[in-house]
Structure 1
Amino acid sequence: MNPRDAPLAALLVVTWSSGFVGAELGTRTASSHAVLAWRFVVAALVLGAVVLVRAQRVSRAAVRRQIGLGVVMQCLYLGGIYTGVQYGVSAGLSALIAALQPMVVAALAAAFLAQRIGGRTAAGLLLGIVGVAVVVGGNLGGDAPWWAYALTVGGTVSLSVGTLLQSRNSEPVPITVGLAVQSATAAVFFLAWSLAAGDALPPADGGFWFAVGWTVVLSTFFAIGSYFVVIGRRGATAASALLYLTPPVTMIWGWAMFGDRLGLATVPGLALCAVAVALVLRAPTAAPPRPTRPRPAGRSEGSSGATPAPPRPDHAPSCRAVSTTAD
């Protein structure tokens, strides 16, 4: 990774980890869908105002695409994670399941985009799983029903799919516009869920609104925004690999916010995760195929007289098409 991108990577890891803290803060006073509903209502209003003031415009096709990404990356992912937390999935196991996301992204990229995963990248992805397992190995308890675990797994897969779709976006969209459309989509989704459940009215509890503010600023503006930027600059696999660092950082958040005990394995597990991320980010990128010089008219190749076809590239197109642009 370019040294200039290091602060961005650190911002992503710290603020993405804050989302698990926000989930615990919010679900202490309200249901998961109510917390998410008001989180995205506030975020959509703020971002919508910014878009209007800047007079930013995108095509209808881009708006439709961002709505679809909002369903996959916000509604399904966060709905699954928050609901799993609400119904008893432990923080350790939730973090471990979510940390499978880089492996899921790499597998999907190889299967559907024909993107090759080099040996160093594969080693880094596997080492990341080991590091996360070391960190959270002693915190895998919980009495949640089976479907709560299934929701957590489903949310992780949904984010993986959305990450690949985001990286393949052919039309650059300003980050504020993308976040505004996705937040509005999620606000409608979770408000409808809350209305159906009968708890759409927000509680007057100050802790609830503190959690909403926490998740709007840290988890939406900074975490999701920086995630989109890293996807655009480094690609889906590299952006996902940074999430290996979120479980140990989340535990540090828990120690600072709630007095949670840090296990002895936190430091070595964090070190393994850091090495894993470094392996993925430093993996060499295949060079583009060299252009062939056109042959003069009338020249033939061999006895057949046929002009040779240009050589096929030895690698698939990368997922580094910039999907969002900085404002």
Structure 2
Amino acid sequence: MNLPITLASDQKTPPDWRQTLPLPLLEAGLLLTWSSGFIGARFSIDYAPALLVVFWRCVVVTLLLFPFVAKSLRRTPLAVLLKNAGIGLLAMAGYLAGVTQGIALGVPAGLAALFADLLPMGMALLAAVVLGQRLGWQIWIGLSIGLAGVMLVTHGALAWGHAPLWAYGLPLLGMLSLAVATLWQKHLPASAAMGLLPNLWLQCCVSSVVFAVVEGAQGSLEPIPGAGFALSVLWTVGLSTLGGYGLYWICLRRATATRVASVLYLSPPITMLWAWAMFDEPLSWQMASGMAVSGVGIWLVVRAEARQARSPVACSKH
């Protein structure tokens, strides 16, 4: 009896789960986990300085992931490590430091969040001015409608605080830092790309050094004994870092930078749903209507990008 022979080439590699999951499902997870970062900051401020929590958040992720990424890191060329470390400094240290330090200096949280939510517009402007990318007018309209929805949601939380005038630029700089990191990551050649976990480890490792210097200059880096501090760190490690940043980079590999950033327009209303569930903060029809307006803007962006992606194919057929 002849037994069937299975060749190695006939054995199909199981597909990566990140490629099999529908993109909208990944984006829903991104919204849930990304918005958890604002809730974590709100919760932790009663127990510790904001940057101390962020420092230990990065340290814990670095320690947790190291056994899983050590072998991959040893095989990665130094030039690739340096490029991805630069992206991590901008995406994590630059963004988080800008937003949290602005709030610490007296910029109202609602205003700081609004500046951070300008990410889609900031990214589109950078892509157009610096990279020379042409975005269709439908995309610009969608981005503008999405921003209008964000302003409608956050209108009740906006106030002009008593911070020094220059401090209001910190959340904007943080937003621009993440925008630059996103575009840099998106345009990296395949030879400079890293796996998701090694990339997250590297980002947290280099960011922990920055936060150690900044927070260490202001006070002690020792963890604060107590359940509140521990819960704050664990919340931001699991949801905001591994979940939020992890899904952000996964979605960025599956879609355009403009689409991924525009989806984050729904972050403010999702954050307010978190606050309602955890802190019993009230909801309003204004929030619901703003969420609906942002949803329309995101739909216009997604639709316009899909049409723009099909147009070269359509032209080549004629």
Q: How does 1:262-281 map to 2 (within 5 A)?
A: 262-281=283-302
Q: Deviations over 1:217-238 (max 9, x none)?
A: 1111011011111111112111
Q: Secondary structure at the match of 1:265?
A: helix
Structure 2 equivalent of residue 218 of structure 1: 239
Q: Which amino acid aligns with 1:42?
A: V
Higher helix share: 2
Structure 2 equivalent of residue 196 of structure 1: 217
Q: Secondary structure at the match of 2:308?
A: coil
CA distance change for structure 1 residues 71 and 105 in 2, over 3 Å: closer, same or farther? Answer: same
Which of 157, 164, 182 pairs up with 2:176?
Answer: 157
- Once superposed, what is the RMSD of the aligned Cα atoms? 2.0
The answer to whether the Cα contact below 8 Å between 2:73 and 2:198 also exists between their aligned partners in 1 is: no
Structure 2 equivalent of residue 124 of structure 1: 142
The answer to whether the Cα contact below 8 Å between 1:99 and 1:243 also exists between their aligned partners in 2 is: yes
Q: Which amino acid aligns with 1:279?
A: L
Structure 2 equivalent of residue 95 of structure 1: 113
Structure 2 equivalent of residue 259 of structure 1: 280
Structure 2 portions without partners, runs of 5+: 1-19, 314-318
Quote the Cα distance in structure 1 between the aligned partners of 2:21 and 2:58: 33
Whether 1:57 aligns to 2:80 is no
Q: Which amino acid aligns with 2:224?
A: P
Quote the Cα distance in structure 2 between the aligned partners of 1:203 and 1:82: 19
Structure 1 equivalent of residue 186 of structure 2: 167
Q: Deviations over 1:122-157 (max 9, x none)?
A: 111000111011111111125240333221111111
Which of 291, 295, 308 pairs up with 1:285?
Answer: 308
In the TM superposition, residue 70 of structure 1 has moved relative to its aligned partner by: 1.5
Give runs of ≥4 in structure 1 deviating > 6 Å.
53-56
The answer to whether the Cα contact below 8 Å between 1:25 and 1:208 also exists between their aligned partners in 2 is: no
CA distance change for structure 1 residues 9 and 74 in 2, over 3 Å: closer, same or farther? Answer: same
Q: Which amino acid aligns with 1:168?
A: H
In the TM superposition, residue 5 of structure 1 has moved relative to its aligned partner by: 0.9
Structure 1 equivalent of residue 157 of structure 2: 139
Quote the Cα distance in structure 1 between the aligned partners of 2:52 and 2:267: 25
Q: Secondary structure at the match of 2:285?
A: coil
Q: Which amino acid aligns with 2:51?
A: H
The answer to whether the Cα contact below 8 Å between 1:27 and 1:86 also exists between their aligned partners in 2 is: no
In the TM superposition, residue 91 of structure 1 has moved relative to its aligned partner by: 3.2
In the TM superposition, residue 172 of structure 1 has moved relative to its aligned partner by: 2.4
Q: Which amino acid aligns with 1:27?
A: I
Whether 1:18 aligns to 2:41 is no
Q: Secondary structure at the match of 1:115?
A: coil
Q: Which shows bigger deviation, 146-155 or 210-219?
A: 146-155
TM-score (norm 2): 0.86
CA distance change for structure 1 residues 142 and 242 in 2, over 3 Å: closer, same or farther? Answer: same
Structure 2 equivalent of residue 302 of structure 1: none
TM-score (norm 1): 0.84
Quote the Cα distance in structure 1 between the aligned partners of 2:172 and 2:47: 25
CA distance change for structure 1 residues 262 and 191 in 2, over 3 Å: closer, same or farther? Answer: same
The answer to whether the Cα contact below 8 Å between 1:88 and 1:142 also exists between their aligned partners in 2 is: no
The answer to whether the Cα contact below 8 Å between 2:98 and 2:173 also exists between their aligned partners in 1 is: yes
- Number of residues of Structure 1 aligned to a counterpart in Structure 2: 290
Structure 2 equivalent of residue 307 of structure 1: none
The answer to whether the Cα contact below 8 Å between 1:97 and 1:153 also exists between their aligned partners in 2 is: yes
Quote the Cα distance in structure 2 between the aligned partners of 1:55 and 1:161: 24
The answer to whether the Cα contact below 8 Å between 1:32 and 1:79 also exists between their aligned partners in 2 is: no
Q: Deviations over 1:101-128 (max 9, x none)?
A: 1001001111122211112211110001
Q: Which shows bigger deviation, 199-208 or 255-264?
A: 255-264
Indicate the structure (1 or 2) with the bigger Cα radius of gyration.
1
Structure 1 equivalent of residue 11 of structure 2: none
Structure 1 equivalent of residue 4 of structure 2: none
CA distance change for structure 1 residues 120 and 208 in 2, over 3 Å: closer, same or farther? Answer: same
The answer to whether the Cα contact below 8 Å between 2:108 and 2:158 also exists between their aligned partners in 1 is: yes
Quote the Cα distance in structure 1 between the aligned partners of 2:222 and 2:195: 32
Q: Which shows bigger deviation, 262-271 or 2-11?
A: 2-11
Q: Taking every aligned residue pair, what percent have the same amino acid on both sides?
A: 38
Whether 1:249 aligns to 2:275 is no
